[in-house]
Amino acid sequence: MKGRVIRHLALLAGLTLMLAPACRAQAQLAGDWQGTLSAGSIQLRLILHVTAATDGSLTASLDSLDQSAYGIPVTTVTLKDSKFNFTVDAVHGIYEGTVNKNASEIDGTWSQGQPLELDLKRVPATPPPAAAKPAAPSDIDGNWTGMLNTGLTELHIIFKIVNTQDGLTAQMQSPDQSPIWVGASSVTRVNGTLIITLKGIAATFEGSISGDLGSIDGSFTQGNVKLPLALKRARN
């Protein structure tokens, strides 16, 4: 019996020694990584937050700084030898990269319909910005919904408008495409005209607020394409 126990202990020790290098390699990836995704005229700064568990398994989340989208869940993260892959199901994205010898850079490709170069470099821990301080709601605070007809398909669009001590803010979601909310870079209201600029997707919504505050009729422009978009206040 004693000999059998010793053999089992020896086997476990051997497995531990075999797993240790893999755990160390994965632990080296823990931290924050930043890169810029260039898609035509759109430049998106991304930060990948990687965490390593004691067993060496990896988890991660993704921030898109120029879209004010933080904490996007990363579905899977794998490291095999120097090959580093992760997927983001929320946006149907896949990343495939190669980690350099000192684990300071990852050269790779982001695929979301088409492959784009995305090289990541290690950066100091980068927490999300502090949320704007709330203020008394404006008369247009809340969710506004509409349908965008692209000619090929119709997309459900939602704008969430919130007043803060720094002024109006807005987020946009296209639930037919992704559950991610994209933050507006600016919101301007002049008399009865509302302009929401979304620099992260090179888009702008401009509309006229109705007198009864029940609708905003306007247009959605992205790049060189301008489409009509009528919003109605959503019932909560």
Contacts of 201 by beta carbon, 8 Å cutoff, 6+ apart: 42, 67, 182, 222
Angle at CA 60, nearest 5°, toward 48 and 74? 95
**HSE of 207, CA atoms in CB hemisphere, 13 A:** 24
Q: Which pLDDT belongs to residue 23?
A: 55
- The 225-233 sheet, strands edge to edge: 182-183, 167-173, 154-164, 142-149, 225-233, 215-222, 203-209, 193-198, 186-190
Q: Please give the full DSSP string across 165-229, using - where no structure is assigned.
A: TTEEEEEEE-TTT-SPPEEPSEEEEETTEEEEEEGGGTEEEEEEEPTTSSEEEEEEEETTEEEEE
Q: What are phi and psi of 15, to 5 degrees?
A: -65, -40
Please state, as a whole number, how many other Cβ atoms lie within 10 Å of the Cβ of residue 236: 5
Q: What is the mean pLDDT of each run of 10 residues along the chain (236 residues)?
A: 46 45 68 92 92 89 93 95 94 95 95 93 90 93 96 95 96 94 95 95 96 97 94 87
- Domains in the chain (CATH in brackets) are 29-123 (2.40.128.120), 142-233 (2.40.128.120)
